[in-house]
Amino acid sequence: MGRREKPARREPKFDVEGPKKDLRIDPRDRLPGTDEDMARTKTRARKKPAASEKAEAAPARPPRKAARGRRRSLPARLAYWSLVLCLWGAIGVIGLFVFVAAHLPPIQSLEVPKRPPSIQIAGTDGRILAVRGDSGVSAKVKDLPKYVPQAFIAIEDRRFNSHFGVDPIGIARAAVANVMRRGVSQGGSTLTQQLAKNLFLTQERTFSRKLQEVVLALWLEQKFTKNEILDLYLNRVYFGAGAYGVEAAAQRYFGKHARDMSLSEAAMVAGLVRSPSRLAPTRNPNGAQRRAQVVLAAMADAGFITDKAAATAMAQPAHALKQTSNGSINYVADWIMDVLDDLVGRVDDDIVVETSIDPAMQLFAEQTINEELAAKGAKFGVEQGALIAMTPDGAVRAMIGGKSYAESQFNRAVAAKRQPGSAFKPFVYLAALERGLTPDTIREDKPISIKGWKPENYTREYYGQVSLTQALAMSLNTVSVRLTMEVGPSVVTRTAHRLGIASKLEPNASIALGTSEVSPLELTAAFAPFANNGLAATPHVVESVRGKDGKVRYRRRPQVLGQVVDMRYVGMMNAMMQETLLMGTGRKAELSGRPAAGKTGTSQDFRDGWFVGYTAQLVTGVWLGNDDSSPTKKMTGGGLPAEIWGRFMKNAHRNIPVAGLPGLYGGYTSSVPSQQGYGQPPQGQQPYGQPQQQGPNPFPTPLQSNESPGMVYQDRPVPPGSIPNGGRSAAVASPTRNDGMDSWLLDRLLGPRR
């Protein structure tokens, strides 16, 4: 069957010579296709009418007048939608305020809070030393010169007398200023809003807190008159330096009542509201005066004073009273506030706290620390210091928590824990005495190695055969380590805890050199039993608390905590530590003509310097160092700390009768201690001081020895990696009957042993 031949393709012919309209393809000339193609073709034909059709349809366009009418309706539509948006915005704002108000207490139950109680802190002479809480004093607007409230209105809220609690103009002005300066340079809060924040809210800077402030400001304006709001404001706002209220600020800075302030003084006080801590004239007098000039200019601009009066006040700026101290009493006040709740519970009313602080002694301590650090601090590379002075029964007479309370409120006397170095050694020697040794017991000063740890003496010299008295006075490290290993490190730590150390102590060989950290307060208190015939002593500062009506809410009663050191060991320790001041490392602390004892201490790399010592009337500890624990310039406890201790103690003992240390008569001890002076020797007896047996020279010539490379200074041992607890040496005599606190505790629990 033959193949069917395909018909030849017919090409369309175009008459190029004809009119252009004949060039258009007629749909009938297309090849047959699908129905869809045909429908698409018809649609395109409808969408693209011929030019003639367009020309015919042109007259059907709307007139230009109608188009102009539609353009004029656009502003109307914009106005309409703007109105809608404003309406919804108003609804949203109202809803937000309702939400904020719902999270506040019911308005009808809101009351202006009672002012905080005034807590006055008095010294031993009854004089008020510090005030915490509210000052307890107030001023009425009607009693003040007009320029006092006007100064606050001019600088803080110029439209105070006309607004309803919120100042929209002020808010808008502040917003524009902040946008122009690209930051928060002005605030829009009114005096009423500031009062609402101080009375009811926290200081957090959040949008919700700001809305609550607005709601409360509106309520205050409805409930109180403008003068009443001003009264509340001027007596509640903070002015720096612990002063709340304009009356307290006037007394604190100028030593006068608010009603007696001059125009320049009123302007300075009003200027403090913006930043009371930074602008306080006691801390930043130049900044306070510059701010006062801004206030005076604002008062003149508002018409409250004339330009001449403003110029006169600027020419005669206010000056704060010169401070008589660096505010060290505030360290004591902060400590009292920490313990007050435990003594009397919640304080709702004004109270007076009577303390054991001696104002004169506190001033001596502050002056001594500040002057010595100013003169020698740079030389020794030391910036901070602390001092604690207490009676042998623990009553704190003076406390210095740092060089300047204005610069740092951290109380180093109470809260800082540092390595005591050799100031810890008395607990080592006491543990040895309680286990049969005596001040005349001989031990050899020579190199020692424990598990690779090789503690050395400060001078890297060794003295051979020495008595315990000589070893403690000269602070020989090797002897202290030997004694610790003989009695056991755990025995040493228990002895220290028994005398009052509360911090954790690591029971290893390095405890012999004071490597565990303690606070100045607890270390000083742990020396008190040596000054009071071996009784436990708890440091305290509050003697009584009474209300303004005279009712006593708390009174400290004498506490008998029991014997923690047998009196004959007290005598031995006092004999040994007395030599530290007479012949040993603490010679710079010697008190001419007055018996005293103590111990120096220097921590590793000279980071801390200590001197803790006592007389029969006073126990004092001094610490010097840096807050970042950086090394000093080779400051030792026998240097600047001993000098500060000696200077303070000489001033503190003026007009106080000389008294001997407990137990220093008739050999090592006496069974009947003196009732006055803790240890006046009986008639005809000489104080203990001479050894009972012939020993080496008081401070023998050092031996020649092969010394290990590297130097480990006195009081600064290298902590061992792993030190065993160690056992007692067979050479140490076992205690028989009187072995100190351990025996006392067993006798109390189990009865006397036979």
Cα 442 to Cα 419: distance, rounded to the nearest angstrom: 28
Active-site annotation holder among 118, 138, 156, 221: 156
The two most distant CA atoms of the chain are separated, in Å, by: 163
Cα 413 to Cα 388: distance, rounded to the nearest angstrom: 7
- Active-site annotation holds for 422: yes
Cα 735 to Cα 719: distance, rounded to the nearest angstrom: 31
118-122: strand order across its sheet: 128-133, 118-122, 351-355, 542-547, 552-555
Cα dist. 462→473, 512, 579, 707 in Å? Answer: 14, 18, 19, 9
Q: What is the DSSP letter of 620?
A: E
Other residues' Cβ atoms within 10 Å of the Cβ of residue 71: 8
* Complete DSSP assignment for 303-368: TSS-HHHHHHHHHS---PPPPSS--THHHHHHHHHHHHHHHH----S-EEEEES--HHHHHHHHHH
Cα dist. 289→247, 254, 266, 284 in Å? Answer: 19, 14, 11, 9
Torsional class of 456: left (φ above 0), alpha (ψ -120 to 50), beta (otherwise)? beta
CB-count burial class (<10 Å; 0-12, 13-18, 19+) for 91: exposed
The owner of tokens 């969408």 is 47
| 584: Cα separation from own chain's centroid | 38
Q: What is the DSSP letter of 552?
A: E
Active-site annotation holder among 138, 328, 422, 670: 422
Q: What is the DSSP letter of 399?
A: E
Each as own residue / partner, the long-range contacts of residues 136-139 (CB below 8 Å, 24 or more positions apart, any chain) are: 136/350, 137/245, 137/247, 137/248, 137/251, 138/235, 138/245, 138/247, 139/234, 139/235, 139/245, 139/246, 139/247, 139/257, 139/258, 139/259
Cα 660 to Cα 663: distance, rounded to the nearest angstrom: 9
Other residues' Cβ atoms within 10 Å of the Cβ of residue 180: 9
- Active-site annotation holds for 204: no
Tally of CA atoms within 13 A in the half-sphere of 157 that contains its CB: 23
Contact between 234 and 149 (Cβ < 8 Å):
yes
List residues with catalytic annotation: 156, 422
